[in-house]
Structure 1
Amino acid sequence: MARHLDWEAARGRGLHSDSLHDLAGLAFEVAEDAPLQRVLSHVARNVTDLPGVLYGGVYLLGDDATTLQLEGWHGLTAEYLKVMREMPLDLASGTAATGPPNVRAVLTATTILVPDVFAETELGPWLPLFRPQGFRGIAAVPMTAPDGAVIGSVTAYLAKGAAPGPADLPVLEELGRLATAVTLLVRRREADRAAVEGLRADLDRAAARMAEQRRLGAFERAALRLSADGAGLAPVVRTLTDGLGVALTVLGPTGEVLAGDPRGDGRSVSASMHVNDDQTMTLQAAVPPQTPPDEPVPWSLDGAALIVELELRRLDRDADIESRLTKDLVADLLSPAAMRHRDAVFGRAVALGHRPQHAHDVVMVALPEVESGGDPTAGVARAHRRVVALTGTVRPRPVVGSVGSHVVVLNPVPTDDRPPGAEGTTRALAARLAAAIAGARVLIGPRARTLADAPHAFDVASRAVQLLTRRSAGVIDMTDLGVPGLLLQSAQPEALRELAERTLAPLVRNDAERGGRLLATLRAWLAAGMSTPETARTMFVHVNTVNYRLRRIGELTGLQPSRPADLIQLQLALTVAEISGSIPPGALRN
């Protein structure tokens, strides 16, 4: 039978005589912003001032409101603390009548007194933990907030034979209310501090964002000045790239790169730009993966896109104006009748920024066939405007126009010695046009020494362009064709096709039926300057194999590669077949 141990008896057992003697110290700790664990441990020490109490503990409901976590303690052993801290008490482990007393106190919102825990059979799982601690009974009072919610429990661990008397339980309950008050106070203080810190962080971020906006605004104004000065798309994009600190790329309607660097690393963020009724382009940014979505780069992309869109619209408007002006100029330059008034035509060319006395390459853009019901004129007009836009920054300026179903470019030859394919060369321009206009085939024709020679060069190129088909390569350069290219000047396209088909048909048939390599050998032999050893080396075969194949070519075609006249016919037929794409894919690969 548990007995009541009054205050006088408690003194005899070495306990404090005043259970509230240190509450002033508790108030000081709260005032000094002590952490909650330290404050609640102070309450737990006050609990041990009660008669017969060996240890004190304060348990709080976890964030999920399903467990009790030991948050303040006094006198408990390290082993007990370790278990209680690592394994919070589950509220599901108790009921109103059974289970750990502190769990029952929370569930019932009433004070629970268990004088002898070892007499409670339902506490069996905890008894091995209780026994080494030396306590016998447990008294637990709920921590009830003003709104009636129970937030935890203050627990007293009692010595053997000790039980709180009628005057002691009210003191323990008062300590429970005190623990509730200081817990709510400290939590409110911590919440207020977190709110203040959050507000301070928000202010810091807002200040940083305003500073970044001012910095970006300076770059945007610089980009607008470049656009107003007509500097072109590339300088505008470079300035915006420097401002945002990310790789920007301007993509055309079919995904072709108009400006910028598409090789940037990071996640892709893009913004659409509507240049005119039938053209939507994209500004794409490669944002570093660690950049948060609310950082300046993503939301500044819209502002950059607006500036780029304005520049694209300016270029489109200028291209439209120049397209109308140069369209008639090209027609006159290519017309022998108009060139009778050469000075007047050249004067218009000079006024538009061209150099009539400069050498020009004739470039013809063959557009894909228009589907049934489509408007071929509209397709040529769109392609013409597209070519004008793509050549707008090229200096010296090309002359762009359209003749029939083809777009014609008279491209000035660079005066310096640039390697073929270098930026500014005709080959580089042709490759750019082929990539920008879906399905187009681009033919580089003869070179006109001046614009006065353009009609003759155009006549030769127009004959060759009629040989192009869907199977032709994207770019064909007539300057690579040599003597066969010269022969194209005088022959009709249909006659050339018939010549190529008649000459090469036996070789095509042989390669298809026997898996031979006669066409590839002929092409490699011509490319090697008719050197049999060099041909064998490039094709990784024996010299005798090359000689055998050349004999077979002569047997099948009736033309001997060693005879000059036959050699010219074979070379011309192969050239026409390559231009028209009439040879099966792969037949010419070594």
Structure 2
Amino acid sequence: MGPDAGFAPKPPFDDPKAATSAYRAAAQAFGEVAGALNETRDRDTLLRLIGRHICQLVGIERCSVYLRDDETGLYRGQAGWSPAWERGDEPDAQERIKRLVAGTEADEFTREIVTTRRPVVVADTHSDPRPIRSAMLSWGIRSILGVPMVLRGEAIGIIFLDNADEPHVFTSTEGEIAATFADLAAVVISQAQMTGRLRRSLHTVARQNELLRRAAEMDETLTGLVLTGASLGQIAEAVTKLTGKPCEIYGADHRRLAAASPATPRGEPQPRTFDAGVRSHPAVREALEGLDDRESGVVGPLPEAGLTHRYLLAAIATRDDLWGSLVVVEHGSRFGPLDAHIARRAAANVALELAAERRAARAEWDARGSLAGQLIRATSDFGAITRRAQYLGVDLRAPHVVCIVGTRSDAGLPAVADVAAAFAQRERRVLATAVAEGVLVILPLDADAPPLEAMAAARDDVEQALDRFRTEAPLVAGIASRCTDASHYVRAHEEARQVMRCVQAFAGGDRSLVLAAEDLGAGRLFLASSSRAEAERFADDALGALLRLENDAKGDLLHTLAVFFDSSRSVRNTALALGVHENTIRYRLARIHELTGLAVGSDSADDLTAHVALLVLRLGRLA
């Protein structure tokens, strides 16, 4: 691509007098800029003066000046100029420019300017893929000229010129004038930078004393937060206030716990969070491996991972425990000399806060486990138990259900805390304690749902919680009927134990199983006190002749019998459920009577016998 690519095909300086006048104007403008170097110590003022002169020389309404960051090689926005901004319109324009970064992997426009060290034109930003489209739309740029500021063969900065919402046909003449003035401006900027370094070296001792004073004030602020028991959100807000930058606090699993950010103009894009998704990117993982053993230090920018800013990480740790990390984002302003100190100090405070929370949680956990034990054993009067439950935020008048989690064999069980944590992941805050059969859990029910629906939801929560474990033997659970008073839990505990004995005695297999007291009905009392052999012999004595029929006939009769009991022993409801005529049901009940001698539907004792026998068969099928 030639040096005039993108410019309008207008020959530079047909009129020698015009050429002389243009370059003379550039020299005069340079003289004013050079003179200002001795009058101002404010670099932004100097850059805005450069911007005003280059806009006037080229006849353009707006420009922004970027300088190279020697550490990253990217170009960071410094200042801009336009007549509107000088009048006070768009008062946040200068701050917006300072948040901009050019030269990233996706920014082909800037990379071309730096590579060629020549002015580059984008005539139509809507169709040209080289510039970052979101930036062009945000600033309303239709046509843009990028001019490098070249010093000793390197582009130390870039000036971007545009006409704010209007297209402009840039000529090669304008490009040459802009390039000439930009190169002269590069000399002034280099001199200003050198002068600034000299001035800074002269004031190093005074600055260090000031930093020490500020550090002491910041330490006092952060210490005050710990003493007052501040939340993680309040600590993040304090870090943001002290640094002027976004702050995020992450747990050990890289889940964000708190965040704070300075106020930004509406629509201003926010930096990407440093969450688990970002950490999983190969470039980020490699950068983190280059930090110390606790991943403290600076990461970024990493455009390939979507990180266009630098991130200051401080480990949240106490001795051997790594709790997470505190992250400060270089957004809005560059990292200052105290930012790392603030981040480390705040991270230490967060570690103390989390350690205190863990101790409090452990104390509450012990108290909640003790409450569960008191409820099922009635070791205190119910009034005292109710008051203690209220202190722990548990309303015993609200419906709960008792559940015991165990195994079919003597294989190891998960810890009580792990079982409770599995329910917590289902957003169920339970009471849990160890019992002889395994882990007892008291699970709150949805008070607003109908009882059957609430119990079905509880069963689903138990099944989902059990599925989270990969134990040597599958976990099983027995669920009691609902409790709505402190006096109900002793009875519910015994119900859950009976269900567990039924499950462990009759059910085998290699999958988790959840069974409720309502599934067993009154037969629970018989089965809980019987061995498997005794129960199977009872079922064979009751239904043996029926069980020895051919499969189809046996299946129809057993299914009819089960539906008959589920339909409250109503012939009509059973016929409706099975989609057959009522006489068909009567015939099948008569056939069962003929085979077994049980007058099902007309003799309550025979009904109970048949019902319990069916229950034994059902448990056997779970094996």
Q: TM-score, normalised by structure 2?
A: 0.41
Larger radius of gyration between Structure 1 and Structure 2: 1
